[in-house]
Chains A and B, each alone.
Chain A
Amino acid sequence: MLINIAIAIFTLGILGAIFGAILGYSSLRFKVKSDPIVEELDAILPQTQCGQCGYPGCKPYAQAIANGEDINKCPPGGDAVMRQLAERMGIEPKNLEGEEKPKLIAFIREDQCIGCTKCIQACPVDAIIGATRQMHTVITDECTGCALCVDPCPTDCIDMVPVVLTTQNWQWDLNLIPTKNSTER
């Protein structure tokens, strides 16, 4: 009886040792060093670089998500981006922190611009051009709508304006067709 028990313990012990050794070895041998997930997450994020997530840009936030940060901190990306992040991370979608706003771009009221270059320094994507004491202007195609330039402006001359609907970017919403002649000056 005792011998039986001893044999059982011995066998199991040997088995345990062997498998443990294999596992221990493979955990060292096949260690994954870099995390490609950060690049993928960064590709999902809208690249507004607005810092609303609390990180200085989209890449740092992607890094933070990979390290377990919440996925719901990107209002510019909205629900769609959050869902993509959730899918990529394999976690449940969450409610968005902060509200999703329509897409805006910055617009400088040029007659009030004093040429202080503060907005140029604030712009994370170099989408404002101008020089000291010269009027500044926003390159609309490059503007990400992050609104980081609005606060530094000493004369409050930067407005965030919605993107204008044109025949080129119209999304076939039949319910929004005006039933009157719309004349814009």
Chain B
Amino acid sequence: MAFISSSSPYQRVRRSTSEIMLLVLLCLIPGIFLQSYFFGLGNLLQILLASTVALLSETLILILRKRPILSTIKDGSALLTGVLIAIAIPPLAPWWIAVIGTVFAVIFVKQLYGGLGQNIFNPAMAAYVLLLISFPVQMTTWIPVQSLHPFSLTVMDQINALFTGFTLDGYSVAQISTSIDGLTMATPLDTARNALNSGKTISEIFNSPEYKASSWQAIEWVNLGFLIGGLILLYKRVILWYIPIAFLAGISIFSFIAFAYNPDLNISPLFHLFSGATMLGAFFILTDPVTASTTVKGRIFYGVLAALIVVVIRNIGGYPDALAFAVLLANMCVPFIDYYTQPKVYGRGR
């Protein structure tokens, strides 16, 4: 009788790539929950839209590339990309923002480089940068925290706003984004930057009414949500500690140096850690295995490099948040980092 011939090892760990992706998606839930709690259901709508588009464009490109469809879709990487883009864009951004971003991420950044495992750049962040550069207005218009809404927004209102730009009552997104006292809402980092540019010091900004009216508390909570999700990922060993710790430590150290140098012009380390997309980036974006460094030393260096870029751009650059740029720039350095941080092979001496 003939037996099956196959290659060793015959025992394997039973965790697959798709399970990893699924775990990452599950760990995003606390952050997403908090985000939609503060900013309304628009966020969930964006996620629904972006994931649908991600799966559709993945299917389309796989047909064009004549690759197996079902098994590739099942790996969950396209879904994850879609969700990450949706989290990053403003909740009531027009529908085509999410569509363009997702299509670009899946087709251009991932599949045109050869599919899962081959892309140089993080698809979600590359798409975010594309959107930010191309559509700066839509991408920086955040709606205020729900408690500060001048109008009450129903689910239908939000769906309508997303697809037509107006609520059922005929208010435009721009109008929604303007809070009670007529100030345009933006992210705390945005607000701080604008105020800095107009010559105020940090302490003045933090005490100013427009800052207090901004969604800074909400953003802090959201960051906390992603931190919790990230810690679960660490506990489950889906991600390894090197990158998040290196990145967060880097952010703290670099921003502390800047803060110590001039506290009037530079925001504090704590503010850095809990604003913008710091936690999302540390645990969910930078740790994307495909585009991150793979050696131990390399991962630490990669995290620190990204942190340095983030702090530099946030403090002296032209954009309020810099995570996406930092990720892309660090991605570019990965082959170089990997090459120079190879571990010493057994027997090469210590």
A residues whose Cβ falls under 8 Å from a Cβ of B: 174, 177, 179-180
**Which residues of chain B come closer than 8 Å to A177, judged between CB atoms?**
5
Would you call B2 and A174 a contact (CB within 8 A)? no
Closest A residue, CB atoms, query B3: A179
B71 at the interface (CB under 8 A from A): no
B6 at the interface (CB under 8 A from A): yes
- How long is the Cα–Cα vector from A13 to B7 in the complex, in angstroms? 75
Closest B residue, CB atoms, query A175: B5
**Which residues of chain A come closer than 8 Å to B5, judged between CB atoms?**
174, 177, 179
Total number of B residues with any Cβ neighbor in A under 8 Å: 4
7 residue pairs from A and B, CB less than 8 Å apart: A174-B5, A174-B6, A174-B7, A177-B5, A179-B2, A179-B5, A180-B2
B residues whose Cβ falls under 8 Å from a Cβ of A: 2, 5-7
- Quote the shortest CB–CB distance from A108 to chain B (angstroms): 38
- How long is the Cα–Cα vector from A48 to B7 in the complex, in angstroms? 36
**Which residues of chain B come closer than 8 Å to A174, judged between CB atoms?**
5-7
- Quote the shortest CB–CB distance from A65 to chain B (angstroms): 33
- How long is the Cα–Cα vector from A58 to B340 in the complex, in angstroms? 39
- How long is the Cα–Cα vector from A177 to B6 in the complex, in angstroms? 10
- Quote the shortest CB–CB distance from B3 to chain A (angstroms): 8
- How long is the Cα–Cα vector from A179 to B6 in the complex, in angstroms? 13
- How long is the Cα–Cα vector from A131 to B171 in the complex, in angstroms? 105
- Quote the shortest CB–CB distance from B207 to chain A (angstroms): 66
- Quote the shortest CB–CB distance from B7 to chain A (angstroms): 6
- How long is the Cα–Cα vector from A179 to B5 in the complex, in angstroms? 9
Closest A residue, CB atoms, query B6: A174
Closest A residue, CB atoms, query B2: A179
A-B pairs with the 3 shortest C-beta distances? A179-B2, A177-B5, A174-B5
**Which residues of chain B come closer than 8 Å to A179, judged between CB atoms?**
2, 5
- How long is the Cα–Cα vector from A177 to B2 in the complex, in angstroms? 11
- How long is the Cα–Cα vector from A179 to B2 in the complex, in angstroms? 6
- How long is the Cα–Cα vector from A18 to B197 in the complex, in angstroms? 55
**Which residues of chain A come closer than 8 Å to B2, judged between CB atoms?**
179-180
Closest A residue, CB atoms, query B7: A174
- Quote the shortest CB–CB distance from A175 to chain B (angstroms): 8
**Which residues of chain A come closer than 8 Å to B7, judged between CB atoms?**
174
